[in-house]
Amino acid sequence: MNLYPLGKFLCSVAFYPLHRIKVIGKENFPKEGGVLLCANHIDNLDPPIVGITCPRPVHFMAKEELFSVPILKTILPSIKAYPVKRGMSDREAFRNTLKHLKAGNVVGLFPEGTRSKTGELGEGLAGAGFFALKGEAVVMPCAIIGPYKPFKRLKVVYGKPIDITPYRENRTSSEEVTAVIMNEIRKLIEQNR
- Quick check: 89 pLDDT over 80? no
Q: What is the reported pLDDT for 130?
A: 94
pTM: 0.93
The domain locations on the chain are 4-192
- Quick check: 88 pLDDT over 70? no
CATH architecture observed for domain 4-192: 3-Layer(aba) Sandwich (3.40)
Return phi, psi of residue 110, to 5°: -110, 100
The answer for residues whose C-beta is within 8 angstroms of residue 9's C-beta and 6 or more apart is none
For residue 92, name the pLDDT band (cuts at 50, 70, 90). confident
Query: CA 142 to CA 107: how far, in whole Å?
Result: 13
pLDDT tens digits for range 17-58: 999 999 999 999 999 999 999 999 999 999 999 999 999 999
